């Protein structure tokens, strides 16, 4: 049990408490940034799991959009509770990932990335052209209830924020525990040498399939949170290929070192985007792209690597100090 | 289905195919040689379209003859091929050849975002129209439907480009060198081939082709923000269907995509985008290396 309650777990829990506390002081626009970071962070955890397996998907907007559109569809059907919407959104995204997984688990490298993209573009093509699904205008998502509790208008966003934090926290902790389990550790093994994994008696394809379903479910969670946060779903901002690109952006920004780092990466991305858009609307994409290039060039393991770098440096300094003392 | 509809689909489809080929062939050339899936290619297309539309606008406001537009299209593509090609290859890709292929794709995605805004900074958000070459050639009637002659010349241009590429690759010394580099980069280096130079030249050719696609397409479309985003993912589909790195593959891929899209547009307009990516997914499922991928020798 103690193994489960490690540093990362406590880090995430402290983050949870801190975010709860912040709810009392946050302005509405900050809360929006927070909600969107939580949503994108969830998707990025899924991509992190795939990335550790050596796979990159350029099409996870497929599951993200699937989760988001399920929310809109369920609302049209009359369902309005956040828990039902969440279960519905993640279940449909997970099921889709489960079925596509039989196919995708056979692919590696650029083919995996491109086949994912093809599927996400198929969904985009359908959503953008079919009138019944709102075509390019999308569908509105109205206020939801929380286990029957319907908050007053001024309490709605803070309540939503609390629930979103809980969902993201649960997703993060479960993913972290998964990555520490034997099956989770297989991610790196598959990445290093698939044939050896097979000889050890595990099926690399099944391991990849499991990770693919998990990443699909996580992207579904992100999609549900985003749909409820924005109050609107549409193909261009939820399923189009640059959306998938943004998720990969967040993954590389945070690095694959730690689940918690993903949320920091998502927050940094969101702030970068918001402030670039606010202060330099003509060049916000340039700023985003430029920062992505800088990360790729100079911080290939993401923001998380700053921490280990700093630690190494401190250790080296301590060692050097120790030597000089010994010499004296 | 009646004969007229079939003819319309065929002509429409071929025009669209030639447009796709002009864009996708540059992407496939770069992938074939450098193994880089270049998202920036979408910006090359957009740059080509903007630059050509801008120059044609200036040209005709100066009262110069309309046929000059064709020279401007070619000229702008050449200039962009050299300038953008050098900037992206020497300034970015050079540092990334040893990295994971995903990282390289992401880096070109980042460069794509940057270039999108550079385009907006240079040319603003208003759409550009460059209809002069289109108006110059007039139109003709096929099966009761009016087609622009300009669009039909695109089919001819496609065959010219395809032929030049085939000739250059199979019948010139540079082509042989290129094949050697594609086959084995290290051995070619050991044999005294300047791989750095080959990479740069290929990338410039690829960039030129992307820009040419945009520039030649500029008179038909309204040149506005977002055209690059749309094109690059279509070009991906074409290249994947035909086989990444294969020039005949790009030709077949664009014909398949072009005709099926035209068929969808004329019969089931709701399926327009669906059909393209469904074919892409289908090909990836049955033949992941693409219909016409070059056979790879296995190296140990």
Most confident of A108-117, B41-50, B282-291: B41-50
Predicted-assembly ipTM surpassing the 0.85 threshold? no
pLDDT digits 0-9 by tens, B211-258: 998 888 888 888 888 888 888 888 888 888 888 878 888 888 899 989
Nearest Cα residue to A113 out of A207, A248, A204, A288: A248
Instruction: Give the span between the Cα atoms of A193 and A204, in whole angstroms.
Output: 10
* Residue A99 contacts B where some CB pair is shorter than 8 Å: no
Inter-chain touch A118–B280, beta carbons under 8 Å: yes
Q: Which residues contact A178 (CB under 8 A, 6 or more apart)?
A: A49, A184, A214
Helix or strand run (H / E) with residue B148: strand B145-148
Inter-chain touch A248–B117, beta carbons under 8 Å: no
Which 3 state secondary structure label does DSSP give A306?
Answer: helix
**pLDDT grade for B205, boundaries at 50, 70 and 90:** very high
Q: Work out the minimum CA distance from A214 to partner chain B, whole angstroms.
A: 21
Number of other residues whose CB lies within 10 A of the CB of residue A207? 20
Nearest Cα residue to A98 out of A216, A219, A183: A216
Q: Which two tokens stand for residue A134?
A: 């709102």
Q: Residues of B with CB below 8 A from A283's CB?
A: 117, 121
Instruction: Give the span between the Cα atoms of A216 and A190, in whole angstroms.
Output: 19
Q: Which two tokens stand for residue B192?
A: 């005294």
Q: Which residues contact A272 (CB under 8 A, 6 or more apart)?
A: A287, A288, A291
Query: Looking at residue A283, what DSSP letter applies?
Result: S
Q: Which residues contact B15 (CB under 8 A, 6 or more apart)?
A: B147, B151, B152, B154, B155, B258
* Cβ atoms of A239 and A123 closer than 8 Å: yes
Mutation target among A106, A127, A269, A285 for the B interface, most CBs of B within 10 A: A285
pLDDT at position B290? 73
Nearest Cα residue to B197 out of B181, B179, B176, B217: B181
Most confident of A134-138, A183-187, B48-52, B220-224: B48-52
Instruction: Give the span between the Cα atoms of B164 and B141, in whole angstroms.
Output: 30
Instruction: Give the span between the Cα atoms of B253 and B17, in whole angstroms.
Output: 8
Facing residue for B273 by CB, picked from A115, A129, A283: A129
pTM of the full structure: 0.86
Q: Which two tokens stand for residue A167?
A: 């969902």
* Residue A56 contacts B where some CB pair is shorter than 8 Å: yes
* Residue A26 contacts B where some CB pair is shorter than 8 Å: no
* Residue A128 contacts B where some CB pair is shorter than 8 Å: yes
* Residue A136 contacts B where some CB pair is shorter than 8 Å: no
Inter-chain touch A129–B107, beta carbons under 8 Å: no
pLDDT digits 0-9 by tens, A252-269: 888 777 888 888 888 888
pLDDT at position B142? 67
pLDDT value at B1 more than 60:
no
Q: What is the mean pLDDT of residues B284-288?
A: 80
Q: What percent of chain B has pLDDT over 70?
A: 96
pLDDT value at B155 more than 90:
no
Which 3 state secondary structure label does DSSP give A234?
Answer: coil
Q: Is B38 left (phi over 0), alpha (psi -120 to 50) or beta?
A: beta
Main-chain phi, psi angles of B142, to 5 degrees? -125, 125
pLDDT digits 0-9 by tens, A220-254: 999 998 988 888 888 888 888 888 888 888 888 88
Q: Which residues contact B282 (CB under 8 A, 6 or more apart)?
A: none
* Residue B270 contacts A where some CB pair is shorter than 8 Å: yes
Instruction: Give the span between the Cα atoms of A155 and A127, in whole angstroms.
Output: 33
Which 3 state secondary structure label does DSSP give B145?
Answer: strand
Instruction: Give the span between the Cα atoms of B7 and A163, in whole angstroms.
Output: 58
CA angle (B206 as vertex; B204, B212 as ends), nearest 5 = 100
Higher pLDDT, B88 or B145: B88
Q: What is the mean pLDDT of residues B254-281?
A: 86
Which 3 state secondary structure label does DSSP give A141?
Answer: coil
Q: Helix A28-52 and helix A241-254: axis angle, to 10°?
A: 80
Q: Which two tokens stand for residue A140?
A: 């509105």
Q: Work out the minimum CA distance from B287 to partner chain A, whole angstroms.
A: 11
Inter-chain touch B280–A121, beta carbons under 8 Å: yes
pLDDT digits 0-9 by tens, B98-145: 888 888 888 998 999 899 889 888 888 788 777 777 777 777 776 666
Instruction: Give the span between the Cα atoms of B290 and B300, in whole angstroms.
Output: 24
Nearest Cα residue to A240 out of B257, B67, B271, B277: B277
**Chain A / chain B CB contacts < 8 angstroms:** 126
Q: What share of chain B is helix, strand, coil (3-state, %, to 5)?
A: 75, 5, 20
Q: Which two tokens stand for residue B247?
A: 């020039």
Among A90-99, A127-136, A216-225, the minimum mean pLDDT is found in A127-136
Q: Work out the minimum CA distance from B239 to partner chain A, whole angstroms.
A: 11
Number of other residues whose CB lies within 10 A of the CB of residue A45? 31
Q: Residues of A with CB below 8 A from B236's CB?
A: 114, 117
Query: Looking at residue B141, what DSSP letter applies?
Result: E
Instruction: Give the span between the Cα atoms of B141 and B22, in whole angstroms.
Output: 25
Facing residue for B120 by CB, picked from A111, A128, A282: A282
Instruction: Give the span between the Cα atoms of A274 and A280, in whole angstroms.
Output: 10
Instruction: Give the span between the Cα atoms of A287 and B219, in whole angstroms.
Output: 31
Higher pLDDT, B65 or A236: A236
Average model confidence (pLDDT) across chain A: 83
Average model confidence (pLDDT) across chain B: 84
Q: Work out the minimum CA distance from A48 to partner chain B, whole angstroms.
A: 13
Main-chain phi, psi angles of B178, to 5 degrees? -60, -45
Q: Which residues contact A164 (CB under 8 A, 6 or more apart)?
A: A35, A38, A39, A225, A228, A229
Please report the sign of the dihedral spanned by the C-alpha atoms of residue A297, residue A189, residue A254, residue A1: negative
Which residue of chain B is at minimal alpha-carbon distance from A132?
B270
Inter-chain touch A121–B120, beta carbons under 8 Å: no
Q: Which two tokens stand for residue B186?
A: 């290290």
């Amino acid at each position: 049990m103690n193994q489960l309650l490690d540093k990362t777990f406590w880090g995430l829990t402290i983050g949870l408490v801190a975010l709860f506390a912040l709810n009392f002081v946050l302005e509405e626009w900050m809360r929006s940034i927070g909600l969107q970071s939580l949503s994108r962070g969830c998707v990025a955890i899924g991509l992190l799991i795939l990335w550790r397996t050596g796979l990159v998907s350029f099409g996870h907007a497929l599951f993200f959009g699937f989760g988001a559109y399920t929310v809109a569809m369920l609302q049209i059907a009359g369902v309005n509770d956040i828990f039902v919407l969440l279960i519905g959104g993640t279940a449909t995204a997970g099921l889709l990932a489960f079925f596509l997984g039989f196919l995708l688990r056979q692919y590696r490298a650029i083919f995996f990335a491109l086949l994912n993209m093809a599927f996400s573009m198929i969904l985009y093509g359908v959503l953008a052209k079919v009138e019944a699904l709102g075509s390019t205008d999308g569908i509105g998502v109205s206020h939801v209830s929380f286990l029957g509790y319907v908050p007053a208008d001024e309490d709605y966003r803070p309540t939503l924020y609390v629930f979103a934090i809980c969902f993201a926290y649960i997703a993060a902790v479960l993913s972290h525990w998964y990555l520490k389990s034997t099956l989770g550790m297989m991610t790196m093994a598959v990445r290093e040498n698939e044939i050896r994994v097979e000889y050890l008696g595990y099926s690399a394809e099944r391991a990849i399939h499991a990770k693919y379903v998990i990443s699909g479910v996580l992207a579904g969670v992100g999609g549900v949170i985003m749909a409820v946060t924005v109050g609107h779903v549409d193909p261009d901002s939820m399923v189009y290929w640059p959306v998938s690109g943004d998720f990969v952006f967040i993954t590389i920004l945070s690095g694959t070192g730690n689940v918690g780092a993903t949320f920091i990466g998502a927050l940094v991305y969101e702030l970068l985007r918001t402030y670039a858009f606010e202060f330099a609307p003509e060049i916000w994409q340039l700023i985003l792209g430029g920062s992505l290039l800088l990360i790729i060039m100079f911080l290939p393991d993401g923001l998380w690597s700053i921490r280990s770098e700093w630690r190494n440096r401190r250790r080296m300094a301590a060692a050097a100090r120790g030597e000089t003392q010994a010499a004296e | 289905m009646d004969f007229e509809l079939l003819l319309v689909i065929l002509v429409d489809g071929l025009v669209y195919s030639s447009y796709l080929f002009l864009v996708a062939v540059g992407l496939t050339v770069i992938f074939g040689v450098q193994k880089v899936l270049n998202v920036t290619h979408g910006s090359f297309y957009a740059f080509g379209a903007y630059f050509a539309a801008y120059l044609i606008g200036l040209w005709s406001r100066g009262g110069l003859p309309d046929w000059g537009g064709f020279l401007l299209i070619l000229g702008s593509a050449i200039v962009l091929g050299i300038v953008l090609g050098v900037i992206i290859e020497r300034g970015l890709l050079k540092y990334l050849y040893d990295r994971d292929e995903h990282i390289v794709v992401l880096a070109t995605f980042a460069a794509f975002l940057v270039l999108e805004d550079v385009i907006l900074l240079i040319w603003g958000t208003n759409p550009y129209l460059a209809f002069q070459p289109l108006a110059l050639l007039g139109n003709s009637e096929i099966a009761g439907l009016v087609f622009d002659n300009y669009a039909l010349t695109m089919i001819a241009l496609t065959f010219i480009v395809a032929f030049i590429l085939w000739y250059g690759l199979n019948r010139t010394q540079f082509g042989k060198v290129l094949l050697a580099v594609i086959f084995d980069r290290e051995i070619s280096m050991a044999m005294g081939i300047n791989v750095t130079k080959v990479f740069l030249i290929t990338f410039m050719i690829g960039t030129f082709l992307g820009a040419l696609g945009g520039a030649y397409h500029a008179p038909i479309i309204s040149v506005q923000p977002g055209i690059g985003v749309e094109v690059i993912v279509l070009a991906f589909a074409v290249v994947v269907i035909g086989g990444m790195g294969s020039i005949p593959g790009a030709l077949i891929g664009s014909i398949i995509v072009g005709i099926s899209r035209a068929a969808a547009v004329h019969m089931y307009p709701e399926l327009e985008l669906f059909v393209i990516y469904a074919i892409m997914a289908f090909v990836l499922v049955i033949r992941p290396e693409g219909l016409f991928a070059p056979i790879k020798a296995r190296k140990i």
